[in-house]
């Protein structure tokens, strides 16, 4: 873990923040009150959605009891963090029950929730009882319940968290009716803005830090209580929101708010102080004292309050103003902030510096260190605006130097910063899963000092740009595309409509600059907010396009790039992602699409453009053979573009721990047959003026290996087969057919490929806390004076599918299908259907037709809401029709178990590293591989299977259905699986 040291330093206090969490709640109420809260108020649902929105991994559990006996039982059994009592104050002469609980469990806060509009006498009676921490009023809005939970957490955490830089907002209000309305509004705005900041976080830890650094909300009901909080947290107080009339010295003081503001502002000159009052004259007095004011009688009070928080607490863009309020400019991020400060008029600079606006804005973005350095600028000592400007720019420059690698800049700032290492963002919104992963690893490669670790090989991320997810939403909504999509158009119609629809003007202009700046083909990749997540990878479900970017006319290059972006947007609504999301119980409407734009790695070899090596590496190997271990990982390599690997075609696989170990083949002739026989490239001449189409394959050209030899691209990766000697020579200088073996690298270490892959897998696994898959491309320049480049392209968490519990297996003799090469873990039930390719009529030449027939039967099952077992020959989901059945995801969406069966003349390796394989494991589908050459490791009883009742028969495929469901078991520990009769 030593490589993470620098990153840890930045997030050093994260685990010390918000240590106290309310996870168990005891609700004491009548049955009817509980019904109102649980059913009418949907308490559990509200709490769940709120916590889910913040990606907090636990949801509070509520235990309802009606009497003292039940309450005591729960308190003895559970570690309760909060007690909510719904006793009616008007019916109570004492709080005996609550007092008894408080005496026995003094550390558990007790909050009273009342339906009644409480009178001053009732409030006084509750306050006189020490067992009640706070009383709230229930008015039907269930947000008050979430506010109660967060208030209790904040009160418990504020003392410890304030030592780590967390700020606080003080609400001074003595009316439960008012603070029960105001507190939810404050929390709603704070948490909404926090979610916006999380979307811009560069990685998971940074996002969590921003959640945990949100301001704490504290409540005071009296002058003395408020002053105690102000004194104690004076260096952490972000603002005060105060009533004017509240108790002071035991009596109601109509001017207490003004007195409090005077003392507080003397102690904390830059303190944001907002007064609220029902008396209109107090507004005039507040204005005279230069205090913000809200009228409590306003019908829009809560709206105005949320607007005040947004505008003053540093969450939105930084608005540069003159002292008289005239707006000069605004900065959406730190890069723009620095740019504007350089030329900001002195009076504006001094105005914001004296108010600590810069510090407040940066602190909201979890940049505590730089915020603190800017907060304590002594404008009394440094009076010259030029000196203040120089100091602020120095602090910001130190920040940029510290985080320049992996810094996500907005597009306006990219020309001024390090173009080689910067990660540039166009528009606003999320980077998406793929973009965030690339940005994060860009940081980590620098922090781990991998960039220049290896001689003659530079490790880097290709120059990358992300179109933020907000651009997608704006594109869809402003052009009313949801109404068009509601008509269920075909994919072709969606693609046509989207490419005819203009992008937002500012994005078009940004893309115009990119086409001028980038001098090679451009990869345009999906980067949705759901993509590459720990739960569902959406691997290969969306489309990736290559814009040739080689035409002499700038407008043609721009049109190709624009259309590629819009076609990625269109792919969100195609059948495959819609069905994939439906299988995972996700609404595709929840999806938001960012777009990752990268320079396509490669060299021009004559008219063709491609990298020498593309690769996919996984830190976990599903199918190790002696001496390999699962944790050794596995790597798939291909000549040319990585499409060959993603589509499950014939490529070279090796273990990064044992790179010199030969593949499991019986002879050189078999090696020749099973090695890569074609590669993908871009023909830069023929596609210079191509019109981008929905079919992403139209831009690629598939070429024979002999073409790469002609273009001198095999020096580092090729070997030669000698038919005369029936042997393979590990160079390309012999006469004979050329093979892609990567022997010069893996056997003779001409490039440090294996060590680099091992370093990145280890770094990724440590950073993500789980097994990972990375994609990369190696460029070997024809100009020998230039360094060779290992380009990191993508990272995603792997869903390994090996669980902690062991499945009790039945004997193989009781099953009709058995395999020791499986993926998954668990018992799979409720499958009465089997879609099986008929072994008697199977013809590999008709694999496309077979895929179409499977899709027809799959559609029938989809309409009937049934899941099935799918059995076929060779690879399922491959794009190479000669390796198996080229199924798209939506054509097999109803399968819960997939069985790939070898035949004598069709024995490809499983599709490890392919997008299909990754999605299969992520959606918890079961997978069986029945090997031809190893019958003891698996079998399929064809006689029994084909004797089962056939519901529908096509030319090549059967749909079998029986009343009794099939049951499959897979043990992820032993890789053994059975399907019982």
pLDDT at 586 over 60: no
Distances (CA, A) of 40 to 32, 34, 36, 111, 138: 11, 9, 5, 21, 13
pLDDT at 434 over 80: yes
* pLDDT, greater one: 486 or 364: 486
Residue 147 to residue 208: CA distance in whole angstroms: 20
Residue 475: pLDDT band by 50, 70, 90 thresholds?
very high
User: What pLDDT, on a 0 to 100 scale, did the predictor assign at position 1?
Assistant: 36
Residue 734 to residue 184: CA distance in whole angstroms: 77
Residue 55: pLDDT band by 50, 70, 90 thresholds?
very low
pLDDT at 974 over 90: no
Residue 57 to residue 64: CA distance in whole angstroms: 23
* pLDDT, greater one: 628 or 790: 790
Residue 383: pLDDT band by 50, 70, 90 thresholds?
low
pLDDT at 981 over 90: no
Residue 176 to residue 125: CA distance in whole angstroms: 13
How many other C-beta atoms can be found within 10 angstroms of the C-beta atom of residue 32? Answer: 9
Distances (CA, A) of 599 to 484, 521, 596, 683: 33, 6, 10, 16
User: What pLDDT, on a 0 to 100 scale, did the predictor assign at position 297?
Assistant: 87
Distances (CA, A) of 915 to 441, 532, 832: 21, 11, 28
Name, in order, each residue with C-beta under 8 angstroms of 923's C-beta and a sequence gap of 6 or more: 536, 580, 583, 584
Residue 465 to residue 93: CA distance in whole angstroms: 67
How many other C-beta atoms can be found within 10 angstroms of the C-beta atom of residue 965? Answer: 12
* pLDDT, greater one: 221 or 97: 221
* pLDDT, greater one: 570 or 90: 570
Judge contact between 260 and 244, C-beta under 8 A.
no
Residue 839: pLDDT band by 50, 70, 90 thresholds?
very high
| Burial environment of residue 359 by CB neighbours within 10 A (0 to 12, 13 to 18, 19 or more) | buried
User: What pLDDT, on a 0 to 100 scale, did the predictor assign at position 32?
Assistant: 64
* pLDDT, greater one: 809 or 204: 809
Judge contact between 217 and 233, C-beta under 8 A.
no
Look up residue 160 and give its two tokens: 């410890």
Residue 265's nearest CA partner among 296, 247, 300, 240 is 240
Residue 311 to residue 88: CA distance in whole angstroms: 39
Backbone angles phi, psi at 178, to 5 degrees: -75, -50
* pLDDT, greater one: 930 or 380: 930
Judge contact between 567 and 832, C-beta under 8 A.
no
pLDDT-above-70 percentage for the chain: 83
Residue 528's nearest CA partner among 538, 514, 517 is 538
779-801 pLDDT per residue, tens: 999 888 888 999 999 888 876 54
What 3-state class would DSSP assign to 629? coil
Determine the average pLDDT of the residues in 110-130: 80
Of 13-22, 318-327, 673-682, 917-926, the range with the lowest mean pLDDT is 917-926
Q: pLDDT averaged over the chain?
A: 83
Residue 115 to residue 803: CA distance in whole angstroms: 48
pLDDT at 816 over 60: yes
Name, in order, each residue with C-beta under 8 angstroms of 343's C-beta and a sequence gap of 6 or more: none
User: What pLDDT, on a 0 to 100 scale, did the predictor assign at position 917?
Assistant: 60
Look up residue 437 and give its two tokens: 């992963």
Determine the average pLDDT of the residues in 895-904: 92
User: What pLDDT, on a 0 to 100 scale, did the predictor assign at position 565?
Assistant: 95
Residue 163: pLDDT band by 50, 70, 90 thresholds?
confident
Determine the average pLDDT of the residues in 382-388: 77
What 3-state class would DSSP assign to 636? strand
Residue 792 to residue 865: CA distance in whole angstroms: 42
User: What pLDDT, on a 0 to 100 scale, did the predictor assign at position 12?
Assistant: 46
- What does pTM read for this prediction? 0.54
Backbone angles phi, psi at 677, to 5 degrees: -110, -5
pLDDT at 805 over 60: no
Residue 215: pLDDT band by 50, 70, 90 thresholds?
confident
Determine the average pLDDT of the residues in 461-475: 90
Determine the average pLDDT of the residues in 864-879: 90
């Amino acid at each position: 873990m030593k490589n993470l040291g620098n990153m840890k330093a930045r997030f050093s206090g994260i685990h010390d923040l918000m240590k106290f969490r309310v996870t168990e709640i005891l609700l004491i109420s009548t049955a009817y009150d509980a019904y109102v809260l649980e059913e009418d108020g949907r308490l559990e649902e509200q709490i769940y959605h709120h916590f889910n929105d913040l990606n907090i991994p636990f949801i509070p559990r509520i235990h309802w009891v009606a009497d003292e006996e039940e309450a005591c039982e729960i308190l003895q059994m559970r570690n309760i963090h909060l007690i909510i009592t719904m006793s009616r104050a008007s019916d109570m002469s004492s709080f005996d029950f609550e007092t008894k609980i408080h005496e026995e469990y003094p550390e558990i806060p007790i909050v009273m929730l009342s339906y009644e509009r409480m009178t001053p006498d009732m409030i006084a009676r509750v306050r006189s009882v020490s067992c009640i921490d706070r009383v709230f009023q229930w008015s039907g809005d269930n947000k008050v319940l979430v506010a109660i939970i967060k208030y209790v957490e904040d009160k418990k955490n504020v003392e410890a968290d304030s030592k780590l830089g967390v700020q606080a907002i003080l609400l001074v209000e003595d009316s439960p009716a008012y603070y029960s309305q105001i507190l939810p509004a404050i929390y709603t705005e704070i948490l909404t803005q926090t979610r916006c900041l999380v979307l811009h976080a560069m990685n998971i830890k940074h996002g969590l830090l921003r959640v945990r650094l949100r301001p704490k909300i504290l409540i005071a009901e009296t002058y003395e209580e408020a002053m105690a909080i102000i004194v104690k947290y004076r260096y952490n107080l972000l603002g005060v929101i105060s009533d004017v009339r509240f108790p002071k010295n035991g009596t109601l003081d109509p001017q207490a708010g003004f007195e409090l503001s005077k003392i507080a502002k003397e102690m904390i000159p830059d303190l944001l102080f907002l007064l609220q009052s029902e008396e209109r004259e107090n507004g005039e007095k507040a204005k005279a004292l230069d205090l913000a004011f809200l009228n409590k009688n306003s019908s829009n009070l809560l709206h105005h309050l949320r607007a005040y928080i947004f505008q003053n607490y540093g969450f939105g863009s930084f608005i540069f103003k003159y002292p008289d309020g005239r707006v000069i400019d605004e900065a959406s991020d730190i890069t723009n902030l620095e740019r504007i400060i350089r030329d900001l008029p002195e009076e504006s600079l001094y105005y914001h510096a004296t108010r600590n606006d810069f510090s407040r804005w940066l602190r909201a973005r979890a940049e505590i260190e730089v915020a603190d350095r800017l907060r304590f600028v002594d404008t009394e000592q440094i009076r010259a605006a030029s000196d203040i400007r120089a100091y602020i720019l120095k602090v910001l420059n130190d920040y940029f130097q510290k985080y320049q690698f992996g810094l996500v800049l907005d597009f306006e700032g990219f020309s001024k910063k390090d173009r080689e290492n910067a990660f540039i963002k166009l528009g606003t919104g999320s980077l998406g899963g793929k973009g965030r992963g690339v940005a994060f690893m860009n940081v980590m490669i620098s922090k781990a000092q991998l960039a220049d670790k290896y001689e003659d090989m530079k490790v880097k991320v290709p120059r990358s740009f992300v179109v933020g997810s907000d651009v997608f939403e704006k594109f869809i909504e402003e052009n009313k595309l949801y109404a068009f999509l509601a008509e269920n158009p075909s994919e072709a119609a969606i693609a046509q409509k989207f490419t005819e629809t203009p992008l937002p003007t500012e994005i078009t202009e940004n893309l115009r600059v990119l086409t001028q700046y980038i001098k090679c083909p451009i990869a345009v990749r999906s980067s949705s907010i759901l993509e590459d997540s720990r739960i569902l990878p959406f691997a290969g479900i969306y489309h990736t396009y290559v814009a040739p970017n080689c035409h002499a006319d700038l407008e043609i290059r721009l049109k190709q790039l624009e259309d590629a972006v819009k076609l990625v947007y269109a792919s969100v609504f195609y059948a495959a992602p819609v069905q994939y999301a439906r299988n995972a119980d996700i609404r595709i409407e929840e999806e938001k699409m960012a777009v990752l734009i990268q320079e396509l790695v490669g060299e021009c070899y004559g008219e063709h453009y491609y990298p020498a090596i593309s690769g996919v590496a996984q830190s976990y190997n599903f199918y190790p053979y002696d001496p390999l271990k699962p944790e050794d990982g596995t790597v798939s390599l291909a000549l040319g573009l990585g499409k060959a690997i993603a589509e499950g075609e014939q490529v070279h696989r090796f273990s990064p721990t044992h790179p010199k170990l030969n593949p499991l083949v019986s002879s050189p002739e078999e090696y020749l047959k099973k090695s890569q026989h074609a590669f993908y490239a871009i023909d830069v001449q023929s596609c210079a003026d191509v019109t981008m189409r929905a079919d992403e394959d139209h831009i690629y050209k598939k070429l024979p290996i002999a073409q790469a030899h002609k273009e001198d691209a095999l020096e580092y990766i090729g070997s030669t087969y000698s038919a005369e000697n029936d042997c393979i020579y590990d160079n390309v200088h012999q006469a004979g057919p050329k093979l892609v073996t990567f022997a010069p690298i893996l056997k003779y270490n001409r490039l440090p490929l294996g060590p680099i892959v091992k370093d990145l897998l280890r770094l990724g696994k440590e950073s993500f806390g789980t097994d990972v898959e990375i994609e990369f491309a190696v460029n070997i320049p024809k100009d020998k004076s230039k360094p060779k480049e290992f380009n990191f392209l993508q990272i995603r968490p792997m869903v390994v599918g090996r669980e902690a519990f062991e499945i009790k297996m039945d004997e193989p003799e009781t099953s009709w299908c058995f395999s020791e090469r499986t993926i998954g873990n668990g018992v799979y039930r409720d499958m009465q259907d089997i879609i099986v390719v008929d072994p008697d009529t199977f013809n590999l030449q008709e694999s496309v037709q077979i895929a179409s027939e499977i899709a027809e039967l799959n559609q029938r099952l989809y309409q009937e809401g049934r899941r099935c077992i799918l059995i076929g020959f060779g690879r399922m989901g491959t794009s190479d029709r000669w390796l198996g059945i080229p199924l798209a995801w939506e054509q097999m969406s109803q399968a819960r178990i997939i069985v790939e069966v070898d035949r004598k003349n069709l024995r490809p390796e499983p599709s490890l590293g392919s997008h299909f394989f990754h999605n299969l494991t992520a959606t918890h589908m079961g997978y069986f591989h029945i090997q031809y050459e190893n019958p003891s490791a698996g079998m399929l009883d064809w006689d029994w299977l084909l004797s089962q009742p056939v519901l529908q028969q096509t030319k090549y495929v059967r749909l079998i259905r029986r009343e009794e469901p099939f049951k499959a078991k897979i043990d992820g520990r032993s890789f053994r699986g059975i399907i019982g009769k």
